[in-house]
Amino acid sequence: MGTIGVDTALGLPTVKSIALGANRNLPWSEPAQIDDPFEGSFVGVFDRHIFFGRFLNTSARIEIQSLWGPESIRVLSIVRDRNCLSHSVRGFCSDFTNARNIITLLMKIDGEIFEVTGQNSQFPVTPELATTLQTTPEEEIAIRLITDSGEVIDSELGKDTVRAWKTVYGSL
């Protein structure tokens, strides 16, 4: 599931699935050739940001994963009970994947806020958005995710992911 190889023609890591999720060994924050049996082949970039916060009245490890492709952006929120990191015996941890349905993605780029509305944690990439992403300065970008219940999750994208946008969106 999602094995990684190397595309010799493009010199990019090759990923066999668009799937995001816990325990995925993906080429984070670098352009990758994605050959998905359902979505087809395209160049994209996987990103993740891990931080600690509160979820269901417990301290939790929150991981925001995303896949930035030429036609869409996919986002996944993974929440784990913070104690999962120290327990080796199963049963002590809570692991919530897809616990949140994200419907709005906000990005603060060069002092301007860009809002993208989507459904089921997937967001369309318009030609205007692709141009904006392709020309974004290589720096960390603040993002805000809003769920269908109104919950707000603040996260960020690293400068390596932003740099990879030049490859992903540069040929559109």
Q: Which two tokens stand for residue 68?
A: 């930035």
pTM of the model: 0.84
pLDDT-based confidence at residue 96 (cuts at 50, 70, 90) = low
In this prediction, residues 134-155 reach a mean pLDDT of 95
Whether the predicted pLDDT of 154 surpasses 80? yes
Whether the predicted pLDDT of 102 surpasses 90? yes
Whether the predicted pLDDT of 86 surpasses 90? no
Whether the predicted pLDDT of 125 surpasses 80? yes
DSSP state of 117: E
Q: What is the pLDDT of the chain when averaged over all its residues?
A: 86
Do 97 and 121 form a contact (C-beta atoms < 8 A)? no
pLDDT digits over 108-119, tens only? Answer: 999 999 999 999
Query: Higher-confidence residue: 2 or 143?
Result: 143
Please tell me the chain's helix, strand, coil percentages from 3-state DSSP, rounded to the nearest 5. Answer: 15, 50, 35
Instruction: Name residue, tokens 């023609």.
Output: 9
CB atoms within 10 A of CB 161: 24
Which neighbouring-strand residues pair with 79? 62, 96
pLDDT at 156: 96
> Which residue type sits at 155?
S
Selection from 3, 140, 21, 134 nearest residue 75 by Cα = 21
In this prediction, residues 41-51 reach a mean pLDDT of 95
